[in-house]
Amino acid sequence: MIRLGVLVSGGGSNLQALLDAIAARTLDAEIAVVISNVATAGGLERARKANVPAVAVDHKAFSSRQDFDAAVVAKLREHKVDYVVLAGFMRIVTNVLLDAFPMRVVNIHPALLPSFPGVNGQGQAFAYGVRVAGCTVHFVDGGTDTGPIIAQAVVPVLDTDDEHALQQRILEKEHALLPAVVQWIAEGRVRVVPREGQRPRVEVRGVVPVLGLPC
Ligand code: GRF
């Protein structure tokens, strides 16, 4: 069974979706540790409630992002983590983490990348006036939300929406997409295919890696 390290900064509803999927046996993985840069993060509380080791590593105690990441990597190794999931982790990660877990760090972003990377993807999409929005799960590389895309989920933007309503509709899809992708990884379906002179492509064997659209 794959062992996950989940990194959170906030409420941790995506972490909860993973915990719930594990409890429901739709996700065949174990969360070995939850780490947050914010000691008061709701995600740490959710982990404790589920009897998962919860660790706070305060980024302000480190003089560089690399040093902070080294402390996080030490915790991940201590808990024998195979894959790292960034679930609302509001820090830019460095090569220290990425080199320790090459193509084994995944992120959930609340927009259809490559549109609207960075903070508040939902708000950016709403402000732009797009008609479809959604979320993306991707492998993390050195850029901000630029890594190879594994799967996406799509929602409509309605005339009656405000930013909050759209955010909620996207969040619901995040809670479905993230556990599904981690399960595909656990089943060994996900492979990064390098391509000469192009971005690597992610192959997801045997499933359609899109939610919210008829296929
Ligand atoms: C989610 O929208 C996630 O995509 C974004 O931050 C939010 C975190 O929510 N990166 P939660 O902490 O999982 O509830």
Question: What atom in ligand 1 is closest to the CA of residue 17?
Answer: 13
All domains of the chain, ordered by start, with CATH? 1-102 (3.40.50.170), 109-215 (3.40.50.170)
Both tokens assigned to 215: 């296929």
Q: What is the DSSP string of 176-210?
A: HHHHHHHHHHHTT-EEEEEETTEEEEEEETTS--E
Q: Please state the atom number of ligand 1 nearest to the C-alpha of residue 12.
A: 12
What is the model's pLDDT at position 214? 81
Ligand 1 center–CA 106 separation, angstroms: 13
N-term to C-term CA, the chain: 30
The pocket around ligand 1, CB under 6 angstroms, is made up of: 8, 10-14, 43, 87-88, 108-110, 171, 174
**Whole-angstrom Cα distance, residue 166 to residue 186?**
30
Q: Is the pTM of this model over 0.85?
A: yes
Q: Rg of the chain's alpha carbons, rounded to an integer?
A: 17
State residue 9's pLDDT score: 97
Question: Which residues are tagged catalytic?
Answer: 109
Find the farthest-apart pair of alpha carbons in the chain and give their distance in angstroms, rounded.
49
Reference 36, options 23, 49, 25, 45; nearest CA is 45
Secondary element (H or E) of residue 83: strand 83-86
Give me the tens of pLDDT residue by residue for the chain, a chain 215 residues long: 999 999 999 999 999 999 999 999 999 999 999 999 999 999 999 999 999 999 999 999 999 999 999 999 999 999 999 999 999 999 999 999 999 999 999 999 999 999 999 999 999 999 999 999 999 999 999 999 999 999 999 999 999 999 999 999 999 999 999 999 999 999 999 999 999 999 999 999 999 999 998 87
Among 102, 91, 185, residue whose Cα is nearest residue 140 = 102
Q: Is the dihedral of CA 7, 12, 15, 19 positive or negative?
A: positive
Please name the residue ranges forming H helices in 50-162.
65-78, 95-100, 121-128
